[in-house]
Structures are given as structure tokens and as C-alpha cells.
């Protein structure tokens, strides 16, 4: 139970911060891609900066995880086509409906019921990828 609780708490904070920073807002995503505000760029940059420092600290000090095991962060698979094409398609969707996978769930939780349509589309897209996976260049 305690095991589950920590994930719930982390998720809860994630939901609050993404909502209160307005990173879940369609308007903020549009504004970002119009280069009309620094807000979203600031959020993403500081998150990455925090992560770079944190991960370097873990690697250099060989910090163990909560169970006392060595922390290993898997490298992403090598490749190009999947990242360029997949990334491009994702970006088109992200800017169209103004939400990425985390915010889709957060917005539904917040009571924006029409976002269920986006979630349904996202599940359909995930299914489609599963179907076509072996025919696509990676």
C-alpha cells in the first residue's frame, strides 16, 4: 500500500504543477509555438536543467535507488527515422489539440470531458502503431 501511495503522491504533485503552471493549457502551447511567451520554454528548460544536474549527481556519486540497487537509466535505442518522423507526427498533434499524453489525463481528471475524444484518438493511434510497427522504418 505504501508502495502504491508514493506513486499516487508523485502523480498528484505532477497534476497540480502542470495545471498551475498552465502547461496543460491549449493556449500556452499555441503561444509557445508562436514564440509569444517565454513561459513554456522556461518550464521545459528548468526541468531539463534540474534533470541534467540530478542525473549527473546520481552517476558521479553512484547513488542507489530506494531499494538499495544501482540506478541504471537505459539509453534510448539508436536510430533516426523513428525519431524524426514519429517526433514530427507527435508535434503536429501536440500543437493541434494543445496537450501531450500527461495533460490529456490531467485535463480529464479536471473535468474537461471533451478531452476524452483526444484520449480515444490517442489510444487508436497507439493501436495503429502496434499494427503497423513491423512495416515502418525505425
Partner 1 sequence: MEVIFQTWPWYFSGFIIGMIMMSLIYFGKTFGMSSNLRSLCSIAGLGKRVSFFDFDWKAQRWNLVVVLGAMIGGFVAVHYMSDPSNVSINPETIKQLSEMGIDAPNGKLMPEALFGTQILQSPKIIFILLIGGLLIGFGSRYAGGCTSGHAIQGLSNLQIPSLKAVIGFFVGGLIMVHFLLPLILN
- Asked if 60 interacts with partner 1 (CB under 8 A), we say no
Please provide residue 70's backbone torsions phi and psi, each rounded to the nearest 5 degrees. Answer: -60, 140
| Residue 55 near partner 1 by CB under 8 A | yes
1 sits near partner 1 (criterion: CB under 8 A): no
On whether the CB atoms of residues 101 and 122 are closer than 8 A, the answer is yes
Judged by CB under 8 A, the residue of 2, 60, 61, 80 near partner 1 is 80
Q: Is 36 in the site for partner 1 (CB under 8 A)?
A: yes
Contacts of 129 (CB under 8 A, 6+ apart): 136
CB of 62 to partner 1, least distance (A): 13
- Give the DSSP letter of residue 133: G
- Using rule CB under 8 A, residue 77 touches partner 1: yes
Helix/strand/coil for 70: strand
Q: How far apart are CA 98 and CA 23, in angstroms?
A: 9
Q: Could you say which of 1, 24, 60, 62 contacts partner 1 (CB under 8 A)? A: 24
Q: Which of residues 83-122 bind partner 1 (CB under 8 A)?
A: 83-102, 104-115, 117-122
State in Å, rounded, how far the first CA of the chain is from the last one. Answer: 40
Contact between 61 and partner 1 (CB under 8 A)? no
Contact between 62 and partner 1 by CB under 8 A: the answer reads: no
Among 51, 60, 61, 62, binds partner 1 (CB under 8 A): 51
What single-letter DSSP state applies at residue 77?
P
Amino acid at each position: 500500500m505504501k508502495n502504491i501511495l508514493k506513486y499516487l503522491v508523485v502523480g498528484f504533485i505532477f497534476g497540480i504543477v502542470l495545471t498551475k503552471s498552465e502547461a496543460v493549457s491549449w493556449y500556452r502551447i499555441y503561444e509557445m509555438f508562436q514564440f509569444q511567451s517565454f513561459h513554456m520554454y522556461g518550464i521545459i528548460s528548468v526541468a531539463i536543467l534540474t534533470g541534467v544536474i540530478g542525473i549527473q549527481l546520481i552517476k558521479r556519486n553512484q547513488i542507489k535507488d530506494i531499494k538499495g540497487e544501482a540506478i541504471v537509466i537505459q539509453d534510448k535505442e539508436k536510430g533516426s527515422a523513428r525519431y524524426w518522423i514519429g517526433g514530427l507526427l507527435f508535434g503536429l498533434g501536440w500543437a493541434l489539440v494543445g496537450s501531450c499524453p500527461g495533460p490529456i489525463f490531467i485535463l480529464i481528471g479536471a473535468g474537461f470531458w471533451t478531452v476524452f475524444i483526444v484520449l480515444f484518438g490517442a489510444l487508436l493511434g497507439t493501436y495503429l502503431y502496434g499494427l503497423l510497427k513491423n512495416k515502418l522504418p525505425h
